């Protein structure tokens, strides 16, 4: 009887060990922020600065808003993560020198500026898992930004931009190169976030070591499906001053 009990305990231990090993083998590593070769861990933050390298546009049918410049607001930071969890960032965007077309005339963007709602970014993989992307969404609710217009000819005085934007991550080079996998992402002082009109409708998002294909919510503006386009240069900073520190998404 004792011998059978011992064998039973041994088999149980083997089963538990096998289950743990299988779980570990199935766990997926999410993309994360790395600074000077060291992972930015959960609970840690690092300031980032961002500015446009080209005009930023929102197009919805015949309506189009174009802004010459965009910058990250003060307080935009990378958010660290532990293994199996994606790196994130909290940010705000300030657009300036904005103009509108298709919304009647005379009509102008109020003060020629637009401020986003508080946003959060999340590192993920493109659907085919061959490149990195950043998913951008409101921290609360569904509104990315509200556009306000001034002028007697404006068809609408304001419109809410809603949904989720997805940007590809590129090297800051001429020409920019998409960060493709499985090639390791080299540390650099800066990267480019590029939102293209044909945004990713599906991404591969990893949480707690488990990957899931997620369908992103389409962007809407002026009461219709809309597209975003533009590129932002991103680099590390401290108190609003840029650093030459090297970093990367996914070491």
Sign of CA dihedral 236, 173, 121, 65: positive
Show Cβ contacts of residue 234 under 8 Å, excluding neighbours closer than 6 positions: 48, 49, 50, 72, 190, 191, 192, 193
Cis peptide before 175 (omega within 30 of 0): yes
Q: What is the pLDDT of residue 137?
A: 96
Question: How far lies 166's CA from each of 222, 228, 234, in Å?
Answer: 20, 9, 15
Neighbouring CB atoms inside 10 A of 179's CB total: 23
What are the φ and ψ backbone dihedral angles of 202, each rounded to 5 degrees?
A: -135, 140
Query: What are the domain boundaries of the chain?
Result: 29-249
Q: What is the pLDDT of residue 201?
A: 86
Sign of CA dihedral 163, 92, 140, 28: positive
Q: What is the pLDDT of residue 229?
A: 94
Low-confidence ranges of the chain (pLDDT < 50): 2-25
Can you name the residues that pair with 59 across neighbouring β-strands?
A: 64, 227
Q: What is the pLDDT of residue 19?
A: 38
CA distance 150 to 158: 9
Strands 220-221 and 224-225, bridge-based pairing: antiparallel
Q: What is the pLDDT of residue 233?
A: 97
- 3-class SS string, 5-74: HHHHHHHHHHHHHHHHHHHHHHCCCCCCEEECCEECCCCCEEEEEEEECCCEEEEECCEEEEEEEEEECC
Q: What is the pLDDT of residue 153?
A: 98
pLDDT digits (tens, 9 = 90+) for 147-164: 999 999 999 999 999 999
């Amino acid at each position: 009887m004792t011998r059978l009990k011992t064998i039973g305990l041994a088999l149980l231990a083997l089963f538990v060990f096998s289950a743990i090993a299988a779980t570990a083998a199935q766990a997926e590593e999410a993309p994360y922020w790395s600074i000077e070769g060291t992972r930015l861990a959960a609970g840690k933050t690092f300031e980032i600065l961002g500015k446009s390298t080209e005009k930023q546009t929102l197009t919805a049918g015949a309506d189009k808003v174009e802004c010459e410049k965009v910058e990250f607001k003060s307080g935009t930071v990378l958010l660290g993560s532990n293994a199996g969890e994606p790196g994130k960032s909290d940010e705000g965007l300030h657009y300036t020198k904005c103009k509108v077309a298709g919304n009647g005339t005379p009509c102008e963007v109020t003060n020629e500026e637009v401020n986003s709602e508080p946003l959060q970014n999340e590192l993920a993989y493109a659907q085919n898992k061959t490149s990195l992307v950043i998913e951008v969404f409101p921290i609360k609710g569904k509104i990315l930004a509200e556009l306000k217009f001034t002028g007697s000819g404006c068809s609408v005085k304001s419109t809410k931009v809603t949904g989720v934007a997805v940007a590809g991550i590129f090297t800051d080079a001429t020409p920019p190169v998409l960060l493709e996998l499985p090639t390791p992402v080299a540390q650099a002082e800066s990267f480019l976030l590029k939102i293209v009109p044909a945004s990713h409708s599906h991404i591969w998002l990893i949480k707690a070591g488990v990957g899931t294909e997620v369908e992103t919510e389409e962007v809407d503006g002026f009461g219709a499906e809309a597209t975003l386009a533009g590129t932002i240069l991103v680099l590390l900073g401290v108190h609003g001053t840029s650093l030459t520190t090297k970093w990367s998404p996914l070491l």
